[in-house]
Amino acid sequence: MKRTLAEALKSHALSELGIALVGIADASPLEGGGRLTAWLAEGAHGEMEYLARTAAVRRDPRLFLPGARSVIVVAVSYRDEATFDSTPLAGVVTVARYARRRDYHGVIRRRLVRLGRWLASQVPGCRWRVGVDTTPLAERELAQRAGLGWIGKNTCLINRRLGSELLLGALVTDTELACDPPATPHCGRCTACLDACPTAALVRPGFLDARRCISYLTIEHRSPFQSWEARAIGNHLAGCDICQQVCPFNRRASGSCDPALQPRAHLRAPTIDTLSQLDEVSWRQFAAGTPLRRLDFARFTRNLGAIRLSGEVHPARAPTRRQQAGDRLPSSSA
């Protein structure tokens, strides 16, 4: 019964809801809870205090939904024809690829709600709760446990067929479902992501010091930039794709972009001249309906000002690890 229901649920998610990947994990405490504790103790989360506040829930899905027994994890792809952009022209800034499109939170959440309702139609009285990115679930570890892929050395979830350009969501339920076998890692000896990180944020395989990460600095970091931080972001306005662009699994990935997440033309290659003309109202209009709306006007102007002052309006280089970063960034405590 458990396996029949699980297979029917996965079939419904794939064929009726447009999900690219779906797997099922049990809701027991996560093996990575200790790693999370150690990572937080290092202070590697920077100003993301919400991660520390919600650490207990992230370690144990049963705190997210009391009585939880299963976690259904789904993924959609945002890979498109611009996966490996050609060198931008001078004056063009970079927006991370996931942020160049419709906000995925609502897209995935609506599909998971429909999946939860379908489950309730099969198991009357069952309880379920949806989580997408902003909720305190360790989605990547749950996805690995559910067999969707493994957590690579760059800390991204990697699927052998679709690569790592994936957006995740989870449906936690008190219904017991047959689980999928967990995924095993396939990075092997490759260190392309560690070597390419221009700020040496990937301190060692699987350990990201967010305080040095361009994505963190441009989006999560709310304080004014120190001089090294302003230099570190290069031409990145929001987010960074370097550690994914160099990943061999992305170079040969076969997936295609979810139809609901097609890139928006004005976010492919915005220029400094265009962005410099935006006031707070027009910035909100520019970012409306996309993940960029997470970036408030104060951080937008901070980031743009750093790009302009640095004179580094070109694609961020991918030097040997620490080749450029080592002499200008504070050393990691990890």
Distance CA 16, CA 308 (A): 47
Mean pLDDT of 189-209: 97
Residue range 2-84+103-173 in CATH 3.40.109 = yes
Cross-strand partners of 151: 157
Q: How many CB atoms lie within 10 A of CB 276?
A: 11
Q: Is 85 tagged catalytic?
A: no
Residues 254-265 pLDDT 10s: 878 999 999 999
Q: Which residues contact 106 (CB under 8 A, 6 or more apart)?
A: none
Domain ranges of the chain: 2-84+103-173, 192-310
Judged against a pLDDT cut of 70, whether residue 314 lies above it is answered with no
Structure-token pair, residue 262: 């097609």
> 44 and 208 in contact (C-beta within 8 Å)?
yes
**33-76 pLDDT per residue, tens:** 999 999 999 999 999 999 999 999 999 999 999 999 999 999 99
Do residues 178 and 165 touch, judged by C-beta distance below 8 A? no
User: Counting Cβ atoms within 10 Å, is residue 196 exposed (0-12), middle (13-18) or buried (19+)?
Assistant: buried
pLDDT higher than 80, residue 85: no
Question: DSSP assignment, residue 251?
Answer: H
Q: Per-residue pLDDT for 136 more than 90?
A: yes
What mean pLDDT is reported for the chain?
A: 91
- pLDDT band for position 317 (50/70/90)? very low
Q: Which residues contact 37 (CB under 8 A, 6 or more apart)?
A: 55, 59
The pLDDT of residue 3 is 79
> Would the pLDDT of 23 be above 80?
yes
pTM value? 0.91
Contacts of 207 (CB under 8 A, 6+ apart): 39, 44, 155, 334
Say if CB 112 and CB 132 are below 8 A apart: yes
Task: Judge contact between 5 and 246, C-beta under 8 A.
Answer: no
Q: Report the b/e string of 140-167 with b at 16+ CB within 10 A.
A: bbbbbbbbbbbbbbbbbbbbeebbbbbb
| Catalytic, out of 60, 85, 103, 133 | 133
Question: How many residues in the chain?
Answer: 334
Mean pLDDT of 267-287: 96
Q: How far apart are CA 295 and CA 292, in angstroms?
A: 5
